[in-house]
Amino acid sequence: MTQVVNIGTSTLELVQGDITEQQVDGIVNAANAELAGGGGVDGAIHRAGGPEIMAACQAIGGCPTGQAVVTTAGTLSARNVIHAVAPKYADGLHGEPGLLASAYQAALQIASDQGLKTVAFPSLGTGAYGYPLESAARIALGTVIDFLGSHPQVERVRFVLFDDEALAVYQQVLMEEAPTRRHGPR
């Protein structure tokens, strides 16, 4: 089931699926700071996109937590992969919320700067990095809603969630957050 809300002139979507199969301009990767590939979303994107993505990551060398970098998408249908580095969750008291929001903002700014009109995100930080799903969803959706309100050049952001639980949590948070944060004409 797809959930869609309009944010100004942009659209925010929630879907369950495989991020590597999305027909968008840019796919966001849940990367590690070394840009060394890994498991989960990171591994899936590297496997599906081929060795050109890893070669581009190696040329960049790394990316600080809370930031993002852009590479080719290899054989994926997207034009680019934006590698965003979420924080490893300790207890939420060591800057994790700000770093997670910063990773989303950095990825969105790259999308805007690169002229990418459609972008697909996973739920950053909620896999191996252990960020609690509901807290991460609030940060992710709030950050994206705020960004879209002031950057209409990004026309569509799609969160591609891996399982029923993640989709349900994001849907609930979106129902709570979107009416209070919506920008532009209603």
Annotated catalytic residues are 42
Residue type, 167: L
Distances (CA, A) of 155 to 9, 33, 89, 131: 7, 28, 31, 28
Cβ contact 184:9 at 8 Å: yes
The C-alpha atoms of residue 64 and residue 85 are separated, in whole angstroms, by 7
Residue 5's CB: how many other CB atoms inside 10 A? 18
Cβ-count burial 90-112 (b if 16+ within 10 Å, e if not) = eeeeeebbebbbbbbbbbbebbb
Q: How far is CA 58 from the centre of its chain?
A: 21
